[in-house]
Chain A
Amino acid sequence: MNPETDPEITPVEAEAPVFQAVADEKNDGEIEAQMRRMSRRSFLWALAASAGTVGGLKWIGSRRADDGIPWPLRRVLDVNGDIARDLFSTARLAPTFPASKAREPRVNGDIGMGEDFDPASWNLNVSGLHSGEDLRLSLAEIKKLPRVEATTELKCIEGWSVIVTWAGAQLADFMAKYPPATQSGNAPDVQKKPDDLVPYVGAQTPDGAYFVGLDREAALHPQTLLCYEMNGKPLTLAHGAPLRLVTPVKYGIKYLKRLGSLEFTARRPEDYWAQRGYDWYSGH
């Protein structure tokens, strides 16, 4: 008797496992086929996504250089700088330390520090003032401003840091005494209306070989100094005598030594290291 030719007859109990095994095999085949279909689709996705990622990274890396780095990276760094600028507060201070922790920083960088320099005939040239007149100031003029001392951590962009005691005049005090030009053209009020001042300060060594740019907020930060003393002693030539910038809210690259000129300006000033691939803002 054959179950296939005679529908009246049902398979006997003993035969059931055989049919079950056939059904399972058929089902397993379907499951495998289904998995293959899904895998094909998913792996094509994965392939496309991998190709897209590698292509995207290569595309970024091969773009025209904007000041030393591919322009898409430069754009994002500038946006990062704008966001940081918006969130920046001059009320947040860099951590300070006991003066006993201060150490001698390493002399790192001699650009703009040529031999043919006579500190005795040095003057600070200042331009971009509201008065419209440029100034030539002696160190004695700077020292008339209140002397401020702070022990802070100098953080080099290379990754090392060192605690140093700096003393000098606050750049904010300097700007109050010699007010920068305003954007509105109205009389400047450094304390009450700092936002009306032109947004940037450019600083250079006397020979113009090294130059940095600061945003107005960093310039007005109370720990930003026109510095003439380091670790309790007058600055040495190697560390930027007679006057240097100290900017604890920036990396060490902005602590310009042998300050020759300051310019208050509406245009973002050129910056030596920013031209060589680094972030212009470089702020903390």
Chain B
Amino acid sequence: MKRLEKKHSLAIRWFHWVNFPVLFVMVWSGILIYWANDVYRIGIGSWTLFKFFPPAFYEKFSLAFRLADGMAWHFVFAWIFGINGLLYVLYLLFSGEWRQLFPRRETLREAVQVVLHDLRIRKTPLPRAKFNGAQRIAYTGVILMGFGSLLTGLAIYKPVQTAGILPFLSLSLWGATGYEISRFVHFWLTIGFCGFFLIHVAQVAKAGWNNFRAMITGYEIVPAETESPVESPAATRV
């Protein structure tokens, strides 16, 4: 016997899907900006494993010579990114849904089990929960990353006006100024978002249609005898 279970509230679904194209525009316009001074790489000393980005990459997606374009889109969509993210966090806090998302004491142990399970080392099934330990860490982490992008972005955008309230602007590490550090962190957070996106999409594909559909409709079909992992009254039979 099956039943429908409410999984994601309407607000969460909107925040999630608004963020998708906005983050895409932010990353795309960010690359247009980055192109004008593309100094980051993975490597040691004079040895470079990978340069961000190879000329063919810019060429293929017409990302070169578009600094002004990039800045314009970036500083318009940053508003939507920031406001949507802020509303999302406020919603999490006031609705109590943060309880299912933020890490708990047992989260790290759980997350290790999830990783072992995904790597096929652990054979037994995972306990049923809206978000497992690995998801709690990943989703809370990506909120912190978003916050980091917002702060380092603001630091790069208005380095003089915000120097008094963003202490990392006064840092100096290995000859780099706080402004340069902000730009460095801003870049790597963006690479982090892209990594998150790839793993996220792979995991969603693996979890299957029922799970994905829940991010559109809000509901998931579950076996009737399973206990609802969600302690909200909305998680009743429909």
Contact = CB atoms under 8 A, between A and B. Distances in A.
B32 to A, nearest CB: 11
Interface string B75-98: 110010000000000000000000
A153 B159 CA distance: 10
Contacts of A84: 158, 161
Interface stretch (B119-127, B131-139, B177-185): B177-185
A155 B72 contact: no
B238 A34 contact: yes
A122 B88 CA distance: 59
B175 to A, nearest CB: 8
Interface in A28-55: 28, 31-32, 34-35, 38-39, 41-43, 46, 49, 53
Contacts of B219: 35, 38
- The DSSP consensus for interface residues of chain B is helix
Given A39-B217, A74-B72, A157-B67, A88 B161 contact: yes
A136 B164 CA distance: 40
A35 to B, nearest CB: 6
Interface in A138-167: 153, 155-161, 163
Interface stretch (A91-99, A189-197, A207-215): A91-99
Contact of A31 (B33, B69, B161, B221): B221
Contacts of B216: 39, 42-43, 46
Contacts of B213: 35, 39
A81 B69 CA distance: 17
A70 B34 CA distance: 21
Interface in A255-284: 273, 276-279, 283-284
Given A160-B37, A284-B159, A80 B75 contact: yes
Contacts of B217: 35, 38-39, 41-43
Nearest to A88: B161
Nearest to A46: B216
B25 interface: yes
B68 interface: yes
Q: What interface size band does chain B fall in?
A: 35 or more
Interface string A192-204: 0000000000000
B1 A34 contact: no
B4 A159 contact: no
A89 B163 CA distance: 12
Contacts of A80: 75
A94 B36 contact: no
Contact of A161 (B2, B180, B221, B238): B180
B21 A57 contact: yes
Contacts of B33: 159
B230 to A, nearest CB: 18
Given A73-B73, A77-B72, 6 more contacts: A74-B72, A87-B161, A93-B160, A157-B71, A158-B67, A161-B177
Interface of B: 1-4, 17, 21, 25, 33-34, 36-37, 39, 67-69, 71-73, 75-76, 79, 158-161, 163-164, 169-170, 177-180, 183, 213, 216-219, 221, 238
24 contacts: A24-B1, A31-B2, A32-B221, A34-B4, A35-B4, A42-B216, A70-B72, A89-B161, A92-B160, A93-B160, A95-B159, A95-B177, A153-B159, A155-B179, A157-B67, A158-B36, A159-B183, A160-B39, A249-B160, A273-B68, A276-B68, A277-B72, A278-B71, A279-B72
The 10 residue pairs across chains A and B that have the minimum distance between CB atoms:
A277-B68, A159-B37, A158-B36, A42-B217, A73-B72, A284-B160, A76-B76, A24-B1, A69-B72, A94-B160
